[in-house]
Amino acid sequence: MYCQLGRTTDTVVERDEFFSPEEIFEAVSDRVEAVRAAGESIDYLSIVPDGEPTLDANLGATIDRLQDLEIDVAVISNGSLLADADVRAALATADWVSLKADAGTAETWRAVDRPNKALSFESVVEGMRAFADAFEGTLTTETMLVDGRNDDESSLQATVDLVASLDPDTAYIAVPTRPPAEEWVEPAGEQALAAAYSIFEDRLKHVEYLIGAEGSTFAATGDVRADILGVTAVHPMRETGLRELLDRDEADWAVVEELLEEGALLKREFGDETFYLRPIETMDE
């Protein structure tokens, strides 16, 4: 209900091949070269596609190929396919993994995350636990709290039971800070966040909030159109961050106006801020 890219148009549970690992490697390699040539640093190569990354049957091979660039590979997953041992093995090759943990009960999970009906909450949880037990990299969890949906004390206690069983290096508590799929979605309030932190901290070794602006340190390569469209395809940008990126690319706001006029970029308001993002139907261009 809170996805920044809008409603899922097609839910599937069968893995498939989308792009070859070599094709991805070549594209990423070119991008890394451009970013480094511009004097920017790279912390991780993050696999966050237009959907669940473990649906890619080539995920393990892709991670292995990307690691040739000698940069840690991160994968952000909802954990829905981890009941499959092959999926666990593929994901385990990553250096850093984030698993979604929005709910500790099937009812709340289905309401908030809207999974494919073929998925079983119990199987997903068992798969996540099996993965966490064997994973040797850095494991984190992310719990997104939506006002009135999963932020009451009972829901939080159930969720922390799940998260504690995964024993993550860091458990992140987040709220929607970007335009959500459903306009009525609101972030959990301050009282619920305080309660969540207290409940999580009592059970987990390291808890952090993800409740504010994510900052504006995006890589600039000198190709301002590519930079803007690359980021906004998967990560809506606040106007302040977009202006700073333009400054680093030595470009002016006319580029943004041009992209808006072309329909390649959208402008949306959420709360007191203005966001810029790409429409889904143009992201394959």
Query: What is the tens place of the pLDDT at every residue in 55-81?
Result: 999 999 999 999 999 999 999 999 999
Q: How far apart are CA 24 and CA 116, in angstroms?
A: 27
CA dihedral 12, 15, 18, 23 (to 10 degrees): 150
pLDDT at 167: 98
pLDDT at 107: 98
pLDDT at 216: 56
Contacts of residue 226, Cβ cutoff 8 Å, sequence gap at least 6 = none
Q: How confident is the model at residue 143 (pLDDT cuts 50, 70, 90)?
A: very high
Q: Where in the chain is the domain with CATH 3.80.30.10?
A: 21-210
Q: Where in the chain is the domain with CATH 1.10.10.10?
A: 224-282
Using the predicted structure, report yes or no on whether residue 207 has a pLDDT greater than 90.
Answer: yes
Tokens found for residue 64 = 């292995």
Fold of 21-210: pyruvate-formate lyase- activating enzyme (3.80.30)
Q: Are 85 and 50 in contact (CB under 8 A)?
A: no
Lowest mean pLDDT among 58-67, 135-144, 229-238, 264-273: 229-238
Q: How many CB atoms lie within 10 A of CB 106?
A: 15
Tokens found for residue 108 = 């709340």
DSSP 3-state percent helix, strand, coil across the chain (nearest 5): 40, 15, 45
Fold of 224-282: Arc Repressor Mutant, subunit A (1.10.10)
